[in-house]
Amino acid sequence: MGASKPDLVLSGHTNDVNSCDYSADGLLVTSASDKTVRVWLRQPATDEFVEVAYSPLTYHTYSVHCVRFAPRGGSFISCSTDGTAVVWNAKTGVTMSTLRHPSQSPLRACCFSPDGSLIATAGDDGDVCVWSAEQPTILLTLRGHEETVSCLSFNGDGALLASGALIGELRLWQPRSGQTGPVGGVPTAHDLGVTSCDFMPRSAAHDGAADILASCGTDCAVRLWTVLPSGGVAPLTSLLAHTGAVMSVRFSADGALLASAAGDKTVRLWNTSSWSLVSALHGHQRYVTCCCFSPDGRLLVSGSNDKTVRLRLLG
């Protein structure tokens, strides 16, 4: 699998690009250490992107570490070292709510549940807060991590939430059960720290059975885990092609591909049927910090410490 034409490069950020996400209605959101969130609109006829009128968003006062759309694309959330997670109206750029942990700690990860009813946030205090998306109210505080929580991901039905920490552990939670302790996990999933995690879309899980969770870390590895009925996890396989810290893993919407972005300046694509390497994509001049697919699977997006966002049309 390769590019059918040269990458489209989006410039605008003035510091490291940290996160990217793509909505069902053609919006791309990116965030960076320049304190901004930028929103781009895809032009379907040409596959070109233009920045929307309200972009950039300059609410945050420090680096913006993570951005994620709500499932239906009408809103998105961003979180920052400034201790805030902000929910934005995707059509207008107006702030809908601002979330803060009671500790006021820097926030590193945020996401919506698949049905859009819950928001999860996490950061330097080691807590995972689960909020009602309807109003800025904490429903549960999930405690168990002893270090900064760097990533979050809900599974396909929203019953499980995975979190990864810079101490190297992965934990699984059942946020709808009312239980505040973890139901399973791996103490040393990545011995140099977990940087990202993502659940395979439920419809694509192998044999239609157990959930599969991907994780990556500064040990240069991508690891796949099978979630057991008990809530624990069992190792499935490890993908060891990267030669630098792996900073982001994301599945395509149909679950057929897994993308991993790393400090070796590449994004690698993996076939999830065989976990074989499909291709190594080059172009960035520095660490590739984030990646995501368009919902139709036609585009791969990546962001880098080189301050650019690259979009590759997948053939």
Q: Which tens digit of pLDDT belongs to each residue from 70-115?
A: 998 899 999 999 999 999 999 999 999 999 999 999 999 999 999 9
What is the value of pTM for the model shown? 0.95
- The Cα–Cα gap between 285 and 34 comes to 18
Residue 3 lies in a domain: no
Residue 207 lies in a domain: yes
Residue 2 lies in a domain: no
User: pLDDT value at position 1?
Assistant: 42
Q: Which tens digit of pLDDT belongs to each residue from 136-174?
A: 899 999 999 989 999 999 999 999 999 999 999 999 999
pLDDT band at 118 (very low <50, low <70, confident <90, very high): very high
Number of domains in the chain: 1
202: domain range? 8-313
- The Cα–Cα gap between 250 and 171 comes to 18
Residue 1 lies in a domain: no
Mean pLDDT of 181-195: 94
- The Cα–Cα gap between 139 and 129 comes to 8
Residue 212 lies in a domain: yes
Residue 182 lies in a domain: yes
User: pLDDT value at position 231?
Assistant: 82
Residue 149 lies in a domain: yes
Q: How far is CA 252 from CA 61, 212, 295, 300, in A?
A: 32, 13, 7, 9
Average pLDDT, the chain: 94
**Which residue's entry shows tokens 């006062």?**
61
User: pLDDT value at position 6?
Assistant: 81
DSSP string, 141-165: EE---SS-EEEEEE-TTSS-EEEEE
Residue 54 clears pLDDT 70, i.e. is over it: yes
Residue 147 lies in a domain: yes
CATH number at residue 192: 2.130.10.10
